[in-house]
């Protein structure tokens, strides 16, 4: 979906989009040109409230959650809409018909006239002394911290007066961004291995994704392309680099509980360096065409933790899109695709390598899962495959690794139990990592949490038999040694996985 650059000129915060027309009181902010659309789909049936859409960022916000877009297209495509103003979304769920109100706005357009100018500054001053409605709050909340205040008024005043240069608007430092979905937050809070039963949604409703991050800025001049630099370091070294043809950019999948620095450039003109901090939560991932995706990093190991950005677990990669491939390669930096499916299952070992791309190493192992079943951890015919799986984590050059099966729950969950347990992650966190799958669309469909939990419990109990005192970490190590994994290989796995 092609969009033209946004413009701040003559005391205006303006977006120029194909099909715009002239206006006497300033440059217009118009709808997208004929034929372009924004896609929407209800993702969380517990939330029936109106949806407010910032067209510069294409993020649908529903209370504290978000329905996400990738390259202008909704993740799990549904109805399509275009233009500003009020739309009705009609859809069916659970055999019931629903209508959802959608309100399309642009940040700064407080009075709703599709212009951002001095009149909006006046309108915002009035609103700060009153009780603004939700749409006005969204439009006036330039720094996207969830409230209207004097900071928004200052930013709007600066933006509408900007004649040159670049002004960063959001996010604001000090307000954690990229928060978890309401469902993930509820499960993670005070988690015990019995707490997810009430969260079961058997129709495969998506409750998994973190809110994406909307980066926004103002520009004093017309620019075709902005370059956005994002880094973990204040000097902006080792950055992620994005381009945008508008004064907004939506970013996914950043590391939780981490400070980031960012800057926008238009040719030789650069903004100040901004800073923000991501929320402390599970790093669930949004990858177009891939479900049940998350980073296994962040779990405590004594005073240390599992490294982020080393191992990702997902469902099948067979449906990954070009946007998903870019996210895997450019942002997540995946080097190895460890496919745990049987040859011939989907695209497993079809001769085409990894669906992510030809530069990604592809390893296929017909993996065992659980204990007490024909294809379980005690089945001798699967032991060569299991050894190969485990040894993938020995060589540092294999990382980052994406591990997946079909659903990303059973075979993947069994392998992650062994790897995380080996590293010293608690049994409780191993259960949490496993059970988070039921909050994804594919992992929760027709699933029974008690049944799934019993599978993992039975498997952990089997592994514990390999340690006399029943210590989980010692048991995982003893079990792997019994397979022929060496002590040096075990040490290497821990060194690769644990951040110290």
Give the DSSP per-residue string, 269-298: EE-PPEEEEB-SS--B--BTTB-S-EE-TT
Give how far Cα 463 sits from Cα of 371, 470, 471, Å: 9, 9, 10
pLDDT at 253 (0 to 100): 95
Q: What is the pLDDT of residue 340?
A: 97
List all residues 6 or more positions away from 365 whose beta carbon is below 8 Å from its beta carbon: 338, 339, 340, 385, 386, 388, 389
For the ranges 59-73, 301-315, 424-438, which has the lowest average pLDDT? 59-73
Residue 326, pLDDT score: 95
Give the dihedral sign, CA 490/492/496/500: positive
Distance CA 223, CA 246 (A): 8
Instruction: Output the pLDDT for position 60.
Output: 61
**Statement: residue 337 has pLDDT above 90:** yes
User: What percentage of the chain carries pLDDT values higher than 70?
Assistant: 80
The reported pLDDT for the residue numbered 24 is 23
Over pLDDT 90: what percentage of the chain?
A: 54
| pLDDT single digits (tens) 428-481 | 999 999 999 988 888 877 777 888 889 999 999 999 999 988 899 999 999 999
CB 188 within 8 A of CB 282: yes
The residue behind tokens 């997810």 is 196
Kindly state the DSSP code that residue 331 receives in the 8-state scheme: I
Measured at the CA of 492, the angle between CA 490 and CA 496, to 5 degrees, comes to 120
Q: By three-state DSSP, how is residue 20 classified? A: coil
Specify the pLDDT at position 390: 98
Q: 285 versus 451: which is more confidently predicted?
A: 285
pLDDT of residue 273: 97
Tell me: the pLDDT tens digits for 65-97?
Answer: 455 555 555 444 344 555 677 777 665 554 556
Q: What is the DSSP letter of 290?
A: B
Residue 329's pLDDT band, with cuts at 50, 70 and 90, is very high
Confidence tier at 64 by pLDDT (50, 70, 90): very low
Tell me: pLDDT of 303 over 90: yes
- By the 8 A CB rule, do 78 and 40 touch? yes
Model confidence at 499: pLDDT above 70 = yes
Residue 134 has pLDDT above 70, yes or no: yes
Mean pLDDT of the chain: 82
Asked if residue 332 lies in contact with residue 285, where contact means CB atoms within 8 angstroms, the answer is yes
Assess whether pLDDT exceeds 50 at residue 36.
no
Mean pLDDT of 321-343: 95
Q: Is the pLDDT of residue 59 over 50?
A: yes
pLDDT at 333 over 70: yes
Residue 292 and residue 440 in contact, taking contact as beta carbons nearer than 8 Å: yes
Q: What is the mean pLDDT of residues 331-348?
A: 95
pLDDT at 203 (0 to 100): 46
**Domains with residue ranges and CATH for the chain:** 6-183+207-277 (2.60.40.10), 287-499 (3.90.190.10)
Give the whole-angstrom CA distance, residue 213 versus residue 328. 17
56, pLDDT greater than 60: yes
pLDDT band at 486 (very low <50, low <70, confident <90, very high): very high
pLDDT at residue 22 above 60? Answer: no
Residues in Cβ contact with 499 at an 8 Å cutoff, skipping those fewer than 6 apart: 297, 304, 305, 306, 307, 308
More confident residue, 402 or 106: 402
Q: What average pLDDT does range 12-34 have in this prediction?
A: 25
Q: Taking residues 106-121, report their average pLDDT.
A: 88
Report residue 312 as tokens: 């990702």
- Judged against a pLDDT cut of 70, whether residue 291 lies above it is answered with yes
């Amino acid at each position: 979906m092609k969009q033209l650059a946004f413009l701040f000129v003559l005391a205006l915060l303006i977006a120029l989009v194909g099909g715009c027309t002239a206006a006497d009181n300033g440059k217009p902010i118009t709808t997208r040109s004929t034929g372009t659309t924004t896609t929407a789909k209800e993702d969380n049936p517990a939330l029936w409230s109106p949806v407010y859409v910032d067209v510069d960022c294409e993020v649908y916000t529903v209370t504290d959650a978000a329905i996400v877009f990738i390259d202008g297209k909704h993740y799990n495509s549904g109805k399509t809409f275009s233009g500003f103003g009020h739309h009705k979304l009609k859809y069916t769920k659970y055999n019931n018909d629903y209508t959802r109100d959608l309100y399309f706005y642009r940040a700064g357009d407080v009075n709703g006239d599709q212009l951002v100018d001095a009149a909006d500054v006046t309108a915002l001053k009035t609103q700060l002394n009153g009780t603004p409605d939700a749409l006005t709050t969204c439009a006036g909340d330039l720094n996207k911290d969830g409230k209207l205040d004097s900071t928004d008024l200052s930013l709007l005043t600066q933006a509408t007066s900007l004649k040159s240069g670049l002004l960063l608007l959001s996010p604001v430092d000090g307000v954690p961004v990229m928060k978890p979905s309401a469902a993930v937050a509820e499960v993670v809070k005070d988690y015990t291995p019995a707490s997810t039963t009430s969260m079961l949604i058997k129709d495969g409703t998506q409750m998994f994704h973190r809110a994406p991050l909307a980066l926004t800025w103002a520009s004093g001049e017309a620019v075709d392309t902005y370059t956005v630099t994002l880094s973990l370091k204040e000097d902006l070294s080792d950055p992620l680099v994005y381009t945008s043809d508008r004064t907004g950019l939506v970013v996914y999948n950043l590391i939780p509980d981490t400070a980031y620095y960012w800057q926008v450039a238009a040719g030789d003109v650069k903004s100040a360096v901004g800073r923000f901090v991501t929320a402390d939560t599970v790093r669930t991932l949004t990858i177009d065409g891939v479900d049940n995706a998350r980073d296994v990093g962040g779990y405590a190991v004594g005073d240390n933790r599992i490294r982020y950005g080393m191992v990702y677990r997902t469902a099948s990669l067979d449906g990954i899109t070009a946007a998903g491939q870019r996210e895997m390669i450019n942002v997540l930096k995946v080097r190895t695709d460890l496919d745990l499916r049987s040859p011939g299952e989907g695209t497993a070992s079809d001769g085409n390598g990894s669906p992510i791309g030809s530069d990604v190493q592809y390893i296929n192992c017909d993996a065992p899962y659980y204990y007490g079943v024909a294809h379980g951890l005690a089945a001798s015919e699967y032991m060569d495959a299991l050894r190969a799986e485990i040894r993938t984590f020995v060589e540092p050059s294999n990382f980052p690794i994406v591990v997946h099966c079909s659903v990303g729950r059973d075979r993947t969950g069994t392998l992650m139990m062994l790897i995380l347990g080996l590293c010293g992650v608690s049994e409780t966190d191993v259960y949490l990592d496993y059970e988070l799958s039921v909050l994804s669309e594919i992992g929760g469909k027709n699933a029974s949490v008690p049944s799934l939990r019993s599978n993992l419990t039975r498997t952990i109990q089997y592994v514990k038999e390999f340690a006399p005192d029943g210590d989980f970490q010692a048991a995982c190590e003893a079990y792997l040694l019994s397979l022929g994994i060496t002590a040096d290989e075990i040490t290497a796995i821990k060194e690769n996985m644990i951040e110290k």
